[in-house]
Amino acid sequence: MAHVLILGGRSDIGLAFAHICAHNGHEVCLAARRPERLADDVRDIATRYQVHAETREFDAEDSGGHADWFNQLDQTPDIVLYAAGYLGDVEQATKDNAELERIMQVNARGAMTILEAAVRAMEHRGSGTIIGISSVAGERGRKSNYHYGAAKAALTTFLSGLRNRLSGTGIHVITVKPGFVATRMLQGMQTPAALTATPERCAADMYRAVQRGRDVVYSTWHWRYVMAVIRNIPERLFKKMSI
């Protein structure tokens, strides 16, 4: 039995991952803002899978407190998933620094500060798995969400560097790049059905990546090829496109 910490535990993808972990007999801790909203989910997990589940208050925007936050945990988790994310409003971010900073903070900077703290604890023990949910949006800037994309690009680069640094230490780093997932984040948006995964499917892809020790996974796998095409469109064409 492992102990799994999910940062952004109220995210649809994070919660789906908690279910899969608990189903496989692991204890889960859901860390989120206003964790009282997760009380029923914790009862659900405990009832369904007969494992211990708990919540904890966590704010991705409190980078200054992240080191202490992690040190306060009763035990060092075996698996840490960073699932918090903030899509933001691109219009707003073009004129409002607070929105832009929030996008950078929740998707990139907050992930870095809390995951560095997690890695320090894991290094001490000599084992562990870190999973960061980045996004295909980080592979190429598009006018519809380029601040978010830039933050996810930073997260992807951070995770790849971290993996490089920790290679051979027993700590494994996984980068997950979802395409479209039908979660609260996409609420009200029209996405192509064939390329839109359920949060359960995305979570299952992540769990398989843990079991198989993968480094970078797309979810669903189709996106690896979609993004290969998108990355290779010459910039002089791409700049005129609306995708």
Partner 1 sequence: MSTDQAGKTTALSGWGRFPVVEARESTFADESELRTILQEMNGGIARGLGRAYGDSALAGHVVSTRLYRRMLSFDGTSGLLHAQSGVSIADLLKVFVPRGWFPPVVPGTKYVTLGGAAAADIHGKNHHADSSFGAHIRGLRLMDGQGNIIDCSANDREDVFNSAVGGMGLAGVILDMTLQMQKVESAWITQHIELLPDLDAVIKAFERNAQTRYSVAWIDCLARGNKTGRSVLITGEHAQPDELPRAAQARPLASPPTRRLAFPFTMPAFMLNRISATLFNSLYFRLNSMKRGRSVVPYEPFFFPLDGIHNWNRAYGPQGFLQYQFVLPRGEEDALRLIIERISTSDSAPFLTVLKLFGPGRKTPLSFPLEGFTLALDFPRQPALFGLLDELDQITAQHGGRVYLCKDARLSAHNFRHMYPEHAAFAARRRVLDPNGTFNSLQSQRLGL
Q: How far is CA 228 from CA 138, 139, 196, 222, in A?
A: 13, 10, 18, 10
Contacts with partner 1, 47-86, as mask; x by CB under 8 A: xx--------------------------------------
Contacts with partner 1, 145-184, as mask; x by CB under 8 A: -------------------------------------xxx
Q: Under the criterion CB under 8 A, does residue 188 sit at the interface with partner 1?
A: yes
* Distance of closest approach, residue 50 Cβ to partner 1, in angstroms: 8
How many chain residues touch partner 1 (CB under 8 A)?
Answer: 14
Phi, psi angle pair for 51, to nearest 5°: -125, 165
* Distance of closest approach, residue 36 Cβ to partner 1, in angstroms: 11
Q: Which amino acid is at 113?
A: T
Q: Under the criterion CB under 8 A, does residue 187 sit at the interface with partner 1?
A: yes
Q: Are 50 and 39 in contact (CB under 8 A)?
A: no
Beta-bridge mates of residue 5: 29, 80
> For residue 234, what are the contacts with CB-CB under 8 A and spacing of at least 6?
none
Q: Which among ligand NAP, partner 1, none contacts residue 11 (Cβ within 5 to 8 A by kind)?
A: ligand NAP
Cβ-proximal residue to ligand NAP, closest one = 85
Q: 34: closest CA among 55, 17, 48, 51? A: 55
Please give the structure tokens belonging to residue 59: 């704010």
- Site residues (vs partner 1, CB under 8 A): 12, 37, 40-41, 43-44, 47-48, 182-184, 187-188, 190
